[in-house]
Structure 1
């Protein structure tokens, strides 16, 4: 009879279950409210929470905030049957509406790249649902009964807010049972959070501090409503050897010996493994002009059995898109391999030849962050340079972008992002609907060259 390494299986189980626990705490924090406040993401289950404006440059609640799109967010509970999502005609505007199951896999992405920008109605159905749908309503079978949508709508700065708000306001959620009736907000479901879940403290910090016994017991309860997927058979089979069985509670009172020690150590071991996986993303930075390129063979959005990658992405970028929808190269060093520095003495240029501009079907942007991952307040009130902006191209079609503390001159200010006075900084290049050469590594962004 085969022997099994208890600690190895416990460590695997922690990574396997980590996204599920993080998703549930995120859901509880977002949805334990009576109504949407009119400005941000928090809203009851089965209700929309729309971001109405970009965050101010002083915003510090989330690292690496986005200044390209306004978010439309909802958690759906399909326990009572399908919910139909209506998305209005966007008049050609770029948007995507990725849906994530409770294991953080992206399972459907209505939007510009996939279904187009015309008005559409999609019925999101619980696992195993086999009823009929009205004409014109498209079916999407969800892997779990609870699902999370993180819509993103291209927004060309504050003057574009009104048009985006009109598009957001046209979105609607209706239970299939009431389809065809006048649109009304769905009934608010009151949520009950476990006593140990803090509805205000950062979810990542809560989980890292959560004792192993509590973590595994919590995850076991969550699997009763969100069971593993069919492709998880092998990992589920291994977890049975340590008493973790989908659909059953995990009894922690009787743990002892090797199993108890492994369970207690699992949070620390799991976070070490996730951070090592994250570090590996930048392993070839020197070969990529200083850029960390999160592309194939890495998987994003739909993870299959790559459980360590899935956990790592949940840790560093919960809600990550599929690569075909967006990629986010990051730059931390200059062409000499030195960290990017602020201050008047440090001036950098990124030069794109005409044929080397970011290859996208939609649009691209550069966003500058300080060393802590926050925007840099500046007199220009600018955190991003984007392809929709009035950038000044050279006569041959090439493009120079400038990154320095003081203005590079009136004729170059359109292409300038201010850097911090003292702190180090870094760049995120967002490519929306990237072309194939950006995904297979045959295109690499140019380096930042210091004067």
Structure 2
């Protein structure tokens, strides 16, 4: 045990690049070396911390690095989708079906970039959501935040201290050099696709040196390359190596100094390679146990999730709640901050029973209980556990107040039919098809939520089984 302890401590010192005298390394080893239980606890904490970073990188990798992927565009380029999502779209879970995406993976390590947006007609909602590597929604531009006028916005990393060029409306500073930009533009109906394409074609990302007509700056180099994205990595000690690569692109926030020091005890050090073969089996076993405990903690919280309201936002708004950040990434990564859009929904019916595809449900809104939205609202259907859109004979994946032909009762109430077969021709306008079997969930999105929605005064009704 004494030899194991000394060996582990030396490994940790090497990973953290300590330059201490060798004689000092051997002093008080038993006091400084983490126990197996401590390694497990740190691993659990680090696994939860890194989960949203890893799954954010999944999308960044597909968008910027994987040339075989349908979403590929390369760094600092938009990839736009000029149609509503379908069940074939599985890159993002709980995908948004109302506002087709214009996505861009940004790398501002060497220099900022300029985002240019056009004038957009007043009756069309759009938003550009800036998500840093941690998945904090750190800035917004769009209908709510900046209006529908044209604009140019400088997107800079944490270390940029240059002068703002003329013609820039605002500088948007990120605390990470890897950023995912999620653009959403409202599609009124299928006949509106041509108009949508014209708008999306005018979203531009311009390197700063091109915008200012100067020479390109030197390319910033990192110790470790960006990893090939593999799902299995996050279920093994290799997750440490992945984080060590990705965290090179993120400055250490002052609030995380002690946290990062704890992580270093299991080899999580930005830019330093982690080699599990250099660790004794007991250490690897403790790390693997921490991974499993992290998974269990996340799954437990995900299963009991009832409100998406406070899962998305800035670092200050989330108050460094890393578990909530991981739950948000697992439940619906890239969700908007509450002031932009509110998400609610359920996996259960009014009687607290799981929603099942072989049942027929009715979702009843009284006139006074309809969602209060400045822009629009919708309900989208997803299968479980995958949280993808549901194939159905009428190719309808969401329904809401902008759905053509939606019928209200004579008193202003609204009924939505959730079932896998038609509720009848006279009710199909209000039909949101469910899976043929198995569990499902729905998510209600409210764009431009009003105060009662934001403050949780308004409550989403739950489906009732049709007898």
TM over 0.5: yes
In the alignment, is residue 217 of structure 1 matched against residue 262 of structure 2? no
In the alignment, which residue of structure 1 is the partner of 2:357?
342
Indicate if the aligned counterparts of 1:301 and 1:323 stay in contact, CA closer than 8 A.
no
Pair 1:409–1:250, CA change in 2 (3 A): closer
Pair 1:365–1:316, CA change in 2 (3 A): same
Between the aligned partners of 1:196 and 1:315, the Cα distance in structure 2 is 21
SS at match of 2:57: helix
What stretches of structure 1 move > 6 A for 4+ residues in a row?
Answer: 1-4, 191-196
CA-based RMSD of the aligned residues comes to: 3.1
Aligned match of 2:369 in 349, 356, 364? Answer: 356
Deviations 1:71-116 (A, max 9, x none): 0011111122110000111112211111111111111111111111
In the alignment, is residue 24 of structure 1 matched against residue 38 of structure 2? no
Between the aligned partners of 1:129 and 1:361, the Cα distance in structure 2 is 36
TM-score scaled by structure 1? 0.84
**Shift of residue 167 of structure 1?**
0.9
65-74 or 331-340, which deviates more: 331-340
Pair 1:121–1:240, CA change in 2 (3 A): same
Between the aligned partners of 1:368 and 1:225, the Cα distance in structure 2 is 36
Indicate if the aligned counterparts of 2:223 and 2:271 stay in contact, CA closer than 8 A.
no
Indicate if the aligned counterparts of 2:42 and 2:266 stay in contact, CA closer than 8 A.
yes
**Shift of residue 248 of structure 1?**
4.2
In the alignment, which residue of structure 2 is the partner of 1:294?
308
Pair 1:3–1:299, CA change in 2 (3 A): farther
Aligned match of 1:384 in 362, 386, 398? Answer: 398
Between the aligned partners of 1:377 and 1:251, the Cα distance in structure 2 is 44
SS at match of 1:308: helix
Indicate if the aligned counterparts of 1:227 and 1:247 stay in contact, CA closer than 8 A.
no
Pair 1:135–1:257, CA change in 2 (3 A): same
**Shift of residue 194 of structure 1?**
6.5
- Computing the radius of gyration from Cα coordinates, the structure with the larger value is 2
Between the aligned partners of 1:336 and 1:397, the Cα distance in structure 2 is 25
Aligned match of 2:291 in 246, 267, 272? Answer: 267
Pair 1:446–1:316, CA change in 2 (3 A): closer
**Shift of residue 165 of structure 1?**
0.8
Between the aligned partners of 2:223 and 2:401, the Cα distance in structure 1 is 45
In the alignment, is residue 125 of structure 1 matched against residue 156 of structure 2? yes
Indicate if the aligned counterparts of 1:22 and 1:207 stay in contact, CA closer than 8 A.
no
In the alignment, which residue of structure 1 is the partner of 2:381?
368
Between the aligned partners of 2:452 and 2:258, the Cα distance in structure 1 is 35
Pair 1:134–1:227, CA change in 2 (3 A): closer
Pair 1:374–1:400, CA change in 2 (3 A): same
**Shift of residue 389 of structure 1?**
1.9
In the alignment, which residue of structure 1 is the partner of 2:233?
207
Pair 1:436–1:25, CA change in 2 (3 A): same
Counterparts of residues 16-55 of structure 1 (less than 5 Å): 16-32=49-65, 41-55=71-85
SS at match of 2:71: coil
SS at match of 2:279: coil
Indicate if the aligned counterparts of 2:136 and 2:312 stay in contact, CA closer than 8 A.
no
Pair 1:87–1:60, CA change in 2 (3 A): closer
In the alignment, which residue of structure 2 is the partner of 1:444?
459
Pair 1:20–1:424, CA change in 2 (3 A): closer
308-317 or 150-159, which deviates more: 308-317
Deviations 1:5-25 (A, max 9, x none): 332222212222333333334
Aligned match of 1:173 in 205, 209, 222? Answer: 205
Deviations 1:233-285 (A, max 9, x none): 2311322444434454445454337643322323222211211221232xxxx
Pair 1:222–1:156, CA change in 2 (3 A): same
SS at match of 2:304: helix
241-250 or 360-369, which deviates more: 241-250
Between the aligned partners of 1:405 and 1:250, the Cα distance in structure 2 is 50
In the alignment, which residue of structure 1 is the partner of 2:114?
84
In the alignment, which residue of structure 2 is the partner of 1:244?
268
In the alignment, which residue of structure 2 is the partner of 1:407?
422
SS at match of 2:246: helix
**Shift of residue 349 of structure 1?**
1.7
Between the aligned partners of 1:142 and 1:20, the Cα distance in structure 2 is 15
Pair 1:121–1:3, CA change in 2 (3 A): same
Between the aligned partners of 1:84 and 1:18, the Cα distance in structure 2 is 29
Between the aligned partners of 2:195 and 2:431, the Cα distance in structure 1 is 27
In the alignment, which residue of structure 2 is the partner of 1:418?
433
Indicate if the aligned counterparts of 2:86 and 2:397 stay in contact, CA closer than 8 A.
no
Indicate if the aligned counterparts of 2:312 and 2:328 stay in contact, CA closer than 8 A.
no
TM-score scaled by structure 2? 0.81
